[in-house]
Structure formats: C-alpha cells, structure tokens
Amino acid sequence: MIKVQKVSKWYGLVVGVNRISLELEPGVTGLLGVNGAGKSTLLNLMAGLLKPSSGSVSLDGEKIFANPDALRKVGYCPSPDSLYDDLTGVEFLIFMGRLSGMTRKAALEAADRALESVAMGEEARKRIRSMSKGMRQKVKMAQAVIHDPEVILLDEPLNGMDPPSRAQTIKAIRKWGEEGRCVLVSSHLLHEVESMTSRIVLVHHGKLLASGEVPQVRKAISSRPMRIFIRVADGRRLAVELVAWTSVHSVSFGKDAGSLTVEVTDAADFREKLTLLLAERETGIEILNPLDDNLSAVFSYLVA
Amino acid sequence: MKDEAMKAIFSHTIRRMTLSTKVIFFALLVILPWIMVLFLRLLIAAGSIKVSLGGVTLYSVLILTDVMSFMVPVLTLYFGTSLIADDVEAGTLPYLFGRPVRRAKIYLTRYTAMVFVLTVGTWLSVGGSYVLAMAGSRNFHRELGTLLGDLVVAGLSVLVYGALFSLLGLVLRKPLFWSFLIGFGWENMVGWLPGFLKRFTLLFHLHTLLPNPPGPTGIFQNMMASSESRFAAVVFLGVYLALFLLTACFVIQRREAPATEKGGG
C-alpha cells in the first residue's frame, strides 16, 4: 500500500509539507485542511509528480516519483481545471488509457466504463473546451480510474459540480472505497467529506494534525471537553448530580430549565456513570446528543 | 512503433502541431522561400537585378540564407521550445507524468513527432523552391543530386536544431528569449567568425554539408567558407545531437510536475 514516511517538501524557504507520515488503508479517507494547508502538495507527492525534499513516498515498497511501475497502480485527479481542451472527453480518456499501455480498443472500452462510473454519458463526446465545469470535473475523475488503479487520489473532486452531480460523484467515490481501493479525497468542505467517509487525515500549515476515525480523533483532543446536549424533564435535579462527577467539567442551562449542555472531560467515565444512573432511576432524559463529536468540531478545535 | 503509449504521444503531438493555429505560422514559413524565389525571378525577368543570377545560384542562396539560417531555426525554435513547455503552461503535464510511461520516452517520442512534421514541411519548402527556381532551366535534372543533398542537410538541421531548442525549452524559464539569442545571435554571428569558435555553432557544420553552397565571391562568403571535412561535420553534429538529447532526457527524468493553482491547498 501507499506509504508516506517523514516526508517534507520545501519550495525555497516555504514549507509545503513538514515531516508527514501516513499509510493509506483500503477505503475512503478524507484529506482535510484549509486552503494552503498542504493538501495538494501531499497529493502531488503521493501521485509521483513531486519529489520529496526529505523522506519517502512508496507504493508496495517502490518509490513513486517518476517510477512507471508504481504509477501504474495510481490514479490522480488534479484540482486545477486544466485539460486538453481541443480533444473530446472520450478522446482524452482514450489518450490517457493508451498512455497506461492499453490498445486503442481496450482504452475505448475502459473509457466507457470509467465514464459510466462517474455517471457521464453522451456529454463526454463533446469537446472538453465546450464542457461545463462539472462535466470537466467528471472527465478528470474518469481519467483517474481508467486504468483500474489500486490507489485513487482526488484533489477537490466536487468543485464546480451541481448538487445531482455531487451526489453521483460521492456515490462513485464510496463505491471505489467499498471495492477495496485506497481512495484519498481532499476537500476543505467538511460536509462533503462527511458524506463519503468518517476516516480523515487533517493537515494544517504543512503538518499532519490528526488522522483516524472522526470520533477517535475527537476523543484524542483532551484539551477540549466534549459537549453534550441533554433535554430532560427535571434539569436542575440532573445538573446537581452531574456536577458531582469528576468527568464533568461544567453544566450550563439553555433557554429553559430542561435543556442542559454538559462539558465532559472523560467521555468513557461519563458514559459509564450515566448508564448506571439510568438503570437506578427514571431520569426523564428525552434527548442526549453529542454537540462536537463531528468533523466540523474536530476541524475547528484542531485548526483554530 | 509497437508501444501503445508511444503511438498515442506521437499522434497527439502531430495533431497538436497540425490542427492548431500554429499551423498557419508553420505554413507561412514553408511557403516563404517559394514567394522569395518567385519574386526574385520576376525581378530578374524584369531586368531589375543587374548581376547574373542563374536558377542554381538563386536556389542555393535561398537554401543557405532563408531555409538553413532562418526557416529551420525559427520553426524548431517555435515548436521545440514548446514541446514540453506548452503542457507546463496549460497545466496538463501531470496527465503525462502521472502515467506509467518513462519520461525520457515521452520526450523522445514528442521530439520524433516534431522532427517528422518539421522535416516534411522543410522538404516541401526546399523541393518547392527547387522547382520554382529551376523551372525552365536545362539544369533541372542535372541538379537533382544537389536537391537530394539539400534535403538530407535540411532534415539533419531540423534534427539538431530541434534537439537544441527542445532542450532549452526544458531547462530555461524563459526559453523563447534565450533561444532567440542562441539561434540568431550566437549561431548567425559566431558562425561567421574566423577561427575555431564557429565549430560551436550548428550552422557552420550544416553549411559544410550543403552540397552546393553559393560560390565564394565576397568577403562574407570567404569567411563562411568551410575548412572542415564533411566527415568532421557529421561527427560534430552527431555529438551535439547526442549531447542535447541525453541532457534533455536527464533533465526531464528529474523534473517535477505538480498540479497546483494559486491559492490551492
């Protein structure tokens, strides 16, 4: 599988990525970060287009940079809207297929399959120049999978797509992940990533801030108590009990006495005690909802 | 060509050269010598040119001054510097370099396709100039050997100039400026200087190989007159060609091709 080991990339004095290590597992992984965080640099390194200043990027033990044997297993959809505009979508895909060693006939068949996987039909016979942004995105994605790669790297693949196309593309990405391919999708739009996967890699200022499943990552952020919303019939009574627990940092009331927001420092201990409490007596809890056990909260805590 | 990737790159390069607006510029340069021949023949016929200028001389002067010193350098400069630079500018290089093809193979196939197209154009230009200059002359068939030699040298000049400018297009940030300086400054000025220095120009060696250069009638022709053997010229050109191509392969293998845009993450 694809392995990034202590990779740094400098552009003169500017650091693109800084000592990043990660291993991509089968399935979909979201690559998150604000603009300029180093997402594209990391993807370019993994696609064999950039040479690491230090460290290494390898696929099944082989260095990726300018290595045809490794590149055979990688499909990359770049973020910039640059394509061979004078070709039709199908011609472009056939060209890419042939560059991957397929005959013209095999490339045509593979192009049809790739286009089908991104839900693109007859529009692909148009010149790329005359395609909408969304269609061009789909062509870029189709070229990334035309040679049936094990690793698929997608840089902001949903940019410029309309809602139906987004939904189709998300479905396609999830399917590739379910097929056992390693799919890394970069985005700065959290809801997009959330709709594809719960596994994330978060980069900021060129550094790897966190990686793993979102709830695990959230748990690891010990500096920020987890916030849990509770709607209960008798808020005051429950609040008195909760503040006595060592795992509870604070309890605050909402608009009415039945709405509580609890800040928890040890989620496991809190869960255990709450379970015991629920077993002991009728608490009247109507809603129990973690407020920041999601990607958006994780992202803001780590990046802010 | 058995390799499918090479076939795809070859045909794509030819398509790019011939099915774009660049072809207009290409065609203009190809027909320029024809226009010049016709124009000079008109002036000769009208008696505006006093010196005796036969068909062979007219043709040979044009081959040296227009085709070898102008057309071939300009065409190879224009297409050679953009051989890979066009993809860099258009942001399409990641599609080529991200595929399982050796980069040297990409470069050499593109270079071969360019040489093929430019050689065809140059041969059309040389052949057309010969026909127009020699039409009606009793020497038309007698000078066919000269034409053949010129075609070989024209092809060779596309080969070496193409390699030079495609290398400059790979290694320089502003390849057009520096290529003009080398193609028309160094090549045309140093090529005329006496001494050993002119051996570092391509034009000098190509001139040596021309079968029928214009007679050494003036000071410039005397200075340009070659003192080296044709064998030495071929060796020099072969060494230059190998040097340019090997350097280009070395450079492209190490070249990075990130897909980035301003403000991107």
Count of CB pairs separated by less than 8 Å, A with B: 113
Q: Torsions phi, psi of A283, nearest 5?
A: -90, -20
A298 is a domain residue: no
Please identify, among A187, A220, A253, the residue that sits at the C-terminal boundary of a domain.
A220
The answer to whether A35 contacts B259, with C-beta atoms less than 8 Å apart, is no
- If asked whether residues A159 and A216 sit together in one domain, one would say yes
pTM assigned to the model: 0.85
| Residue A278, domain extent | 222-291
Look at residue A81 in the predicted model and tell me its pLDDT. 92
- pLDDT tens sequence across B12-71: 999 999 988 889 999 999 999 999 989 988 888 887 777 666 777 888 888 878 888 889
A172 falls within a domain: yes
pLDDT band at B262 (very low <50, low <70, confident <90, very high): very low
- The 10s digit of each residue's pLDDT in A181-214 is 999 999 877 778 888 998 999 999 999 988 888 8
The letter for the amino acid at A147 is: H
B251 contacts in chain A (CB < 8 Å): none
Residues of B in contact with A83 (CB under 8 A): 92, 95
Inspect the interface and report whether the beta carbons of B265 and A86 lie closer than 8 Å. Answer: no
A143 interfaces chain B, CB cutoff of 8 Å: yes
Residue B170 lies in a domain: yes
**B9 domain-assigned:** yes
Contacts by residues B102-105 (CB-CB < 8 Å, ≥ 24 positions apart): B102/A68, B102/B253, B103/A66, B103/B249, B103/B252, B103/B253, B103/B255, B104/B249, B104/B252, B104/B253, B105/B3, B105/B5, B105/B6, B105/B9
Do A237 and A135 lie in one domain? The reply is no
Q: How far apart are CA B114 and CA B84, in angstroms?
A: 11
Same domain, A269 and A129: no
In B, minimum Cα distance to A48 occurs at B98
CB contact under 8 A, A80 and B103: no
Q: Which residues of B touch A94 (CB under 8 A)?
A: 8
State the average pLDDT over residues A294-301.
77
In a domain, B261, yes or no: no
Residue B262 lies in a domain: no
In a domain, A132, yes or no: yes
Residue B194 has a pLDDT of 74
The boundaries of the domain holding residue B230 are 4-254
CA distances from residue A162 to A120, A137, A166, A187 in whole angstroms, order as listed: 13, 11, 6, 16
A67 and A154 in a single domain? The answer is yes
To test the contact with chain B by mutation, choose from A34, A45, A49, A203 the residue with the greatest count of B C-beta atoms within 10 A, namely A49
Q: Is residue A300 part of a domain?
A: no
Query: From the CA of A71, how many Å to the nearest CA of chain B?
Result: 5
pLDDT at site A297: 78
Q: Looking at the domain assignment, is residue A299 inside a domain?
A: no
Please say whether the beta carbons of B96 and B87 come within 8 A: yes
Among residues of chain B, what percentage have pLDDT more than 70? 89
Does residue A297 form part of some domain?
no
Return the pLDDT at B225: 61
How many structural domains is chain B composed of? 1
Mean pLDDT over residues B192-220, rounded? 73
Q: Would A237 be classed as within a structural domain?
A: yes
Give residues with Cβ within 8 angstroms of A80, minimum separation 6.
Answer: B91, B259, B260, B261, B264
* B4 contacts A102? CB cut-off 8 A: yes
Task: Write the pLDDT tens digit of every residue in B87-108.
Answer: 998 999 999 999 999 999 999 9
Among A192, A220, A248, residue at a domain's last position:
A220
Please state, rounded to an integer, the average pLDDT across all residues of chain A: 91
| Amino acid at the residue A61 | G
* Chain B residue closest in CA terms to A141: B95
One domain, residues A229 and A195: no
Instruction: Specify the CATH number for the domain of residue A264.
Output: 3.30.70.920
Question: Which tokens in the block code for residue A100?
Answer: 């991957």
pLDDT range class, residue B208, cuts 50, 70, 90: confident
Name the domain boundary from A193, A220, A247. A220
Together in a domain, A10 and A56: yes
Cβ of B4 within 8 Å of Cβ of A188? The answer is no
- Across the range A241-260, mean pLDDT stands at 89
Residues of chain A with C-beta less than 8 angstroms from the C-beta of B256: 49-51
CATH number of the domain bearing residue A51: 3.40.50.300
Indicate whether B263 belongs to any domain. Answer: no
Task: Provide residues of B within 8 Å CB-CB of chain A.
Answer: 4-5, 7-9, 12, 16, 19-20, 90-92, 94-103, 253-254, 256-261, 263-265
Order of strands across the sheet that contains A182-187: A74-77, A151-155, A182-187, A27-32, A199-204, A207-213
pLDDT at A284: 82
pLDDT band at residue A99 under the 50/70/90 scheme? very high
Of A37, A76, A188, the CB nearest to B98: A76
Burial (CB < 10 A; 0-12, 13-18, 19+), residue B189, is exposed
A242 CA to chain B: closest CA distance, Å? 43
B22 falls within a domain: yes
The phi-psi region of residue B93 (left if phi > 0; otherwise alpha if psi is between -120 and 50; otherwise beta) is alpha
Q: What is the mean pLDDT of residues A33-57?
A: 94
Instruction: Note whether B17 and B51 are within 8 A (CB).
Output: no
Verify that A234 and A287 share a domain, yes or no. Answer: yes
Of A33, A36, A101, nearest to B4 by CB-CB distance is A101
Separation in Å, CA B166 to CA A87, B21, B79: 24, 20, 8
Q: Contacts of residue B101 in chain A, CB cutoff 8 Å?
A: 68, 99
Please tell me which of the candidates A34, A80, A103 has its beta carbon nearest to residue B260.
Answer: A80
Check whether residue A101 and residue A237 sit in a common domain. no
User: How many separate domains does chain A show?
Assistant: 3
Q: What percent of chain B has pLDDT over 90?
A: 53
